[in-house]
Amino acid sequence: MSEREDAIFKTTGCKWLLPVSGYLGLSLDQVNFLACQLCALLAAFWFRLYLSPNHVSPMVRHAVATLLGVAFLLFCFGWYSTHILAVVVVNYFLIIKADISNVHRYSMVTAMGYLTACHVSRVFIYSYGILSTDFSGPLMIVTQKITMLAFHLHDGMCKKSEELTLEQKHVAIRVRPSLTEYLSYNLNFLSVLVGPCSNYKDYIDFIEGKHISWRLKQHSGTCNGQNGYDKIPHPSPLNAVCRKLLVCCGCMFFFLVITRSLPITYNVDDHFVGHSSFLSRLTYAFFSIQAARPKFYFAWTLADAVNNAAGYGFLGMDGSGKPCWDLVSNLNIIEIETATSFKTFIDNWNIQTGIWLKTVCYDRAAKHRLALTFILSALWHGVYPGYYFTFITAIPITIAARAIRRSIRHHFIGSRVLKLGYDIVTWAATQLAICYTVMPFLLLSVEHTIVFYRSMYFHVHIISILAAVVLHQKHKPRELSATNKLAPPSSSSSSSPAAACSARCQPVHSNNNDKVN
C-alpha cells in the first residue's frame, strides 16, 4: 500500500464494517457514516424519551450529547478527529480569555485559518480523488458553529440593543458559555457529522427544555386561561421524522439506481465532448447534475430527522394547528426542483450555511457584500479550483438575474397564461444556469472545468455579463431593500423553509429575553 493510499485508509476510522462495505459496494467511509447516523437516530429517540429535561439535569444532557458526538467522530475518522477537537478547545480559550470586542475576529481567523490549512493538506492526501465523507466535513460544521457563536457573543456583550437588527437581538449572547455548554454545542451527536449548524441560544433552549415551550407560548391557539402553554403536551416529532426518513429512502434508491449511471466526469470525456452535439452535451450536463443532488438530499434530510427525533427543530404551529419541525432544515427539495430564479434556488439549498454566511459576512460587510460572501463560501468549502470557479461564476449570474427580473417580470404578471409561460421559461433557465454554475464544484480541477466550459462555449458567462452591463445602463444603481438582498446560499432567512413556515408558525426565534444564556 502506498503512503497516499495508507493515509486515505486511515481517515476512514474504524474498520469493523469492512465486510458490510464490500457487500454493499460502498466505500468504508460511507458505510461508517451511515452506521453512525442510524445510531444517532436511535440515540435521538432515547435522548428525547429517557433523558428529557423532566428526567435529568441539563448537565447530564450536555455530557451525553458530547460523549456520543466524540464517539461518532472517533468511529468515523480515527485520530483525524483530533483536528476537530483541537480547534474547538483552542477557540473556547479564545472566547474566555480574548478581548470581547475582538473575539469574533480572533475566532474567525483561527477557525477559518485552521480549516483552510486542513483543506490544503487534503489536496496532498487525496489529490482529486476525495472521499465523500472525510474529517473536513465535521470540521466545516464546527467552524460555522465556532464563528457564529463568537459573532453572537460580540453582539450581545459589545453592542447596544439599538445597534442590532431584530434577528441579531434574538440570537445575541450576553454571557460566555461554560466549557460543558460549549463542547456540547459544537460536538453534540445530533449534528457533529453533517450538521446542520443552528444558533447557540436555540440549542441551549433545547437542552434546558425550553425549545418547544417558548414557541407554544407565542402561539395563541395553544394557551387558555386555565392551563397555560406550559401544561400543553409537547407535540410529537414522530410524523415529521417518518416523513423525512421516507424522503431519505427515496433519495438512497435514486442514488443507487440512477446517479451511478450518470457520472459527472462523463461531461469532460474526450470522446463525448469531441463527437456529441452541443444540445447533447447540454442535456447530459443537465441530467447528471440533477442526478447528483439526491446524495445531498439524503445526508441533510437524515440529519434533520435525527435532530427532530431528539425533540429539536420545532418551529411552531401552523395555521391549522399542526406542528412544524423545520427550524434546522437544511434544504427544501420542492422549492429547489421548481425554482424559477437563481435566488430561490440558493435560498433553499444548504440553508443553515447560508444563514451562517449572512451572519458572519453579508450583514457585516461595508461594501462588495455579494462578492465577499461568495468568496468566503468558496474558501469554507476548500481549496480545489472548481469551488472558486463555481462561486465566482455565480456573481455575474446573480447580478444578471436580478437585473433581468427587475426589467421584464412585471410585463408577465398581469395575465395567468403569460405568468405560466414566464415561470416555465425562467424555471428552465434557472436549472440550466445552476447546472452550468455548479459543474466545476463537482469536477474540482482547472483542466476539467475549462474542458467543460469550452464545450459549453462559455455561453452563460457571456449572456450574464452582457445582460448585467446592458441592463445596468437601463436601471440606475440603487440600494436593495431587505427583501431583495441575496446572500448565497439561502442567506435570506425569509426564503428558507423555516421562514416560509414561520409565516404560519410562531415564532421563528425563541423569545426568552429575560434570561440570556
Note whether residue 55 is domain-resident: yes
Lowest-pLDDT range of 129-138, 243-252, 362-371, 392-401: 129-138
Q: Is there a domain that residue 504 lies in? A: no
Residues 206-219 have a mean pLDDT of 84
Question: pLDDT at residue 175 above 90?
Answer: yes
Same domain (yes/no): 118, 182: yes
The answer, yes or no, to whether residue 2 has pLDDT greater than 50, is no
Same domain, 13 and 110: yes
Domain match, 261 and 143 both: no
Residue 496 has pLDDT above 50, yes or no: no
pLDDT digits 0-9 by tens, 431-450: 999 999 999 999 988 999 99
Is pLDDT at 161 greater than 90 in this prediction?
A: no
513 as an active site residue: the answer is: no
What does the pLDDT average to over 131-136?
67
Which pLDDT score is estimated for 4? Answer: 46
102 is catalytic: no
Q: Does pLDDT of 505 surpass 50? A: yes
Does one domain contain both 167 and 247?
no
Whether residue 87 lies inside any domain: the answer is yes
In a domain, 323, yes or no: no
- Out of 193-202, 237-246, 425-434, 476-485, which region has the weakest mean confidence (pLDDT)? 476-485
Question: Is there a single domain that holds both residue 302 and residue 366?
Answer: no
Q: Which of 455, 182, 191, 231 lies closest to 312, judged by CA?
A: 191
Residues 345 and 303 in one domain: no
Please state at what angle helix 3-10 crosses helix 103-126, rounded to 10 degrees.
Answer: 130
Of the listed ranges 121-130, 422-431, 508-517, the one predicted with least confidence: 508-517
Would 474 be classed as within a structural domain?
Answer: yes
Residue of higher predicted confidence among 489 and 127: 127
217 occurs within a structural domain = no
Does residue 197 sit in the same domain as residue 296? no
- Report the chain's mean pLDDT, rounded to a whole number: 84
Alpha helices in 159-190 (DSSP H): 166-171, 179-187
Residues in a beta bridge with 316: 324
> Count of CB atoms within 10 A of residue 442's CB?
17
Percent of the chain exceeding pLDDT 90 equals 57
- Which residue out of 381, 448, 509, 517 is catalytically annotated? 381
Expressed as residue numbers, the domain containing 437 is 333-495
Residues 293, 390 within the same domain: no
Instruction: Identify the active-site residue in 350, 448, 509, 517.
Output: 350
Q: Are residues 340 and 291 in the same domain?
A: no
Non-local (6+) Cβ contacts of 401 within 8 A are: 341, 342, 343, 433
Residue 228 above 60 pLDDT? no
Lowest mean per-residue pLDDT among 134-143, 222-231, 288-297, 367-376: 222-231
Q: How many domains does the chain have?
A: 3
Query: Tens of pLDDT along 255-305?
Result: 888 988 899 999 999 999 999 999 999 999 999 999 999 999 999 999 999
> Average pLDDT for residues 97-125, to the nearest whole number?
90
- The neighbouring-strand residues paired with 317 are 323
Q: How confident is the model at residue 24 (pLDDT cuts 50, 70, 90)?
A: confident
Q: Summarize pLDDT for 324-354 with one digit per residue, the tens.
A: 999 999 999 999 999 998 889 989 999 999 9
Whether 401 and 486 map to the same domain: the answer is yes
DSSP codes of every residue in 323-384? EE--TT--B-HHHHHT--SHHHHHHTBSHHHHHHHIIIIITT-SS-HHHHHHHHHHHHH-S-
User: Is 322 part of any domain?
Assistant: no
Together in a domain, 300 and 349: no
pLDDT band (50, 70, 90) for residue 402? confident
Q: Both 242 and 205 in a single domain?
A: no
pLDDT digits (tens, 9 = 90+) for 373-388: 988 998 999 888 999 9
